[in-house]
Structure 1
Amino acid sequence: MFQLAIIIRLLAFAIFVACVYGGNVLYNLLEHRKAKLLWKIGFVTLYSFFLLLVTYAVWFVFYFGLNT
């Protein structure tokens, strides 16, 4: 059971890192295409909220995984 908890934590962290790098790639694509400023501001705002939610999800996995 402990090994499963470690695997779940590592998987959650890997997903978080993939989301961060994926967002950077998407923003670079928007920058390369010379997207309008409103699209860039909207993307950064929505992506910030998304990362905040993913961060809390990863934190809950670590918090409850370590306290069980």
Structure 2
Amino acid sequence: MEPFNPKKERVPFRRDIFTRLIKSGTFLADDVIEYKLSIGVSWTARDNRAALEAPDKKVRMKPTE
């Protein structure tokens, strides 16, 4: 399986799924967003706009509890 390349393919944004899953989001330092999920966990992700401009950088998401 090849890695996802956002410059070659797009995944449509599913607002219905997002609003059911995300309770809140907080912008932290260094372009990190912490999401509070409705399933009782927190998840952090880097702002992915930089990855779209620089495809050699990987965007990683990690759960935080």
Report the TM-score, using the length of structure 1 for normalisation.
Answer: 0.29
Higher relative contact order (CA 8 A, sep 6+): 1
- Point out the structure with the larger strand share: 2
Report the TM-score, using the length of structure 2 for normalisation.
Answer: 0.30
- Point out the structure with the larger helix share: 1
> Which is higher, the Rg of structure 1 or of structure 2?
1
